[in-house]
């Protein structure tokens, strides 16, 4: 019991290293998140989710990540937690607001109950996502947990803005391709619940 680690797989390190230093175009940011999700499926390292963190003022890329639950054997290694944690670990700062202006998380799907809570503790100031939670559940079969109906207002009340819609069609395609691989037994659905 000395701790735990998440190691970015080679493909993710290469993909992250190959990103521009700055991405200002919101469509391009979401495309990165979506294609990280797609690559995550292709590489078999976790669920169909990808995320990007940028400085909301300069567009500087602070981190890129993907779901690594199955490859890291850690149930919390969702794309949002992985991406937030890699940026915090590198900067030695649990509060991303201390190392960037208006830190912004872009993710291909609405955060689950856990990641919703993680956002509030992280210092993120803006969230943009593509697929809605209900669609994630309907398409993939994941249980996203007890997300309150007014979750977006709960974030806004805490100084975190929320935007949705960009990249949604592509996000649905990627989630559907994941579901087909689950249905044919190629990939696991990592719900931990008993029933």
Active site (annotated) includes residue 35:
no
Cα angle, residue 122 at apex, residues 153 and 175 outer, rounded to 5°? 70
Torsion angle (degrees, nearest 10) of CA 105, 180, 41, 162: 0
Complex with a second copy: residue 31 or 144, whichever CB lies closer = 144
The CB-of-174 to a second copy minimum distance in angstroms stands at 20
Within residues 87-146, the interface with a second copy by CB under 8 A covers 87-97, 112-118, 120-125, 143, 145-146
Q: Is 163 in the site for a second copy (CB under 8 A)?
A: no
Within residues 35-64, the interface with a second copy by CB under 8 A covers 63-64
Which candidate in 80, 128, 144, 168 is catalytic? 80
Residue 173 host element (H or E): helix 168-183
Distance (Å, whole) CA 110 – CA 168: 11
Distance (Å, whole) CA 47 – CA 148: 23
Per the structure block, which two tokens stand in for 6? 């998440």
State the catalytic residues: 80
Which residues bind to a second copy, rule: CB under 8 A? 1-8, 13, 16-17, 63-65, 69-70, 72-77, 81-82, 84-97, 112-118, 120-125, 143, 145-146, 148, 150-151, 154, 158-160, 190-195
């Amino acid at each position: 019991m000395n701790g735990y680690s998440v190691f970015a797989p080679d493909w993710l390190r290469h993909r992250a290293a190959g990103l521009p230093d700055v991405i200002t175009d919101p469509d391009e940011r979401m495309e990165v998140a979506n294609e990280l999700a797609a690559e995550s499926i292709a590489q078999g390292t976790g669920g169909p989710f990808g995320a990007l963190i940028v400085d909301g003022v300069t567009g500087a890329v602070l981190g890129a990540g993907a779901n690594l639950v199955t490859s890291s054997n850690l149930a919390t290694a969702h794309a949002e937690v992985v991406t937030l944690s890699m940026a915090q670990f590198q900067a030695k700062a649990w509060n991303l607001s201390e190392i960037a202006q208006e830190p912004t998380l872009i993710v291909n799907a609405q955060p689950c109950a856990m990641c919703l809570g993680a956002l509030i503790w992280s210092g993120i100031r803006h969230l943009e996502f593509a697929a809605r939670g209900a669609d994630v559940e309907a398409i993939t079969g994941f249980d996203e947990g007890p997300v309150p109906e007014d979750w977006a207002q709960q974030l806004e009340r805490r100084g975190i803005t929320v935007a949705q819609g960009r990249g949604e069609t592509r996000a649905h395609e990627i989630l559907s391709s994941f579901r087909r691989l689950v249905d044919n037994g190629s990939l696991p659905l990592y719900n931990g619940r008993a029933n």
